[in-house]
Amino acid sequence: MPRHANLAEALKERALQRPDATALAHPAADGTEHRVSYAALDARADAVAAWLRARDAAGRRVLLAMDPGPCAAVALLGCLYAGPWRCPCPRRPPPGPMPSAPPRSSGTPPWTSS
């Protein structure tokens, strides 16, 4: 297996080598299994990275507020592609007192799945 500097490089290579292979599988709303190919995952992560770069988010804190699942995976990979610091958190807060949120980076909005 080739060695990569990071997960983003490994995903990019896999998307080139096996674009139609399944990268993610998750339950769909109708009870079936939905599959996302490496090519689709790479393209979606590239789109997130472009969105972050357009907002000058590289190297800044970015709050990812979303449910676990394919959107969260895409957002995390997009952050790896773009280079900002990432802080995933659940979209629905857990019961009990709310922890302190990290300070927002100068005008960069949080990215959510809603």
What's the predicted TM-score (pTM) here? 0.69
The confidence score (pLDDT) of residue 114 equals 47
Averaged over successive runs of 10 residues, the pLDDT of the chain (114 residues) comes to: 75 93 89 92 92 81 76 86 65 57 49 49
What CATH class is the domain 7-92? alpha beta
By percentage, how much of the chain surpasses pLDDT 90? 24
10 Å CB burial of residue 64 (0-12, 13-18, 19+) is buried
Residue 42: CB atoms within 10 A of its CB come to 22
Helix-, strand-, coil-residue percentages of the chain, each rounded to 5: 35, 20, 45
Phi-psi region of 5 (alpha: psi -120 to 50; beta: other; left: phi over 0): alpha
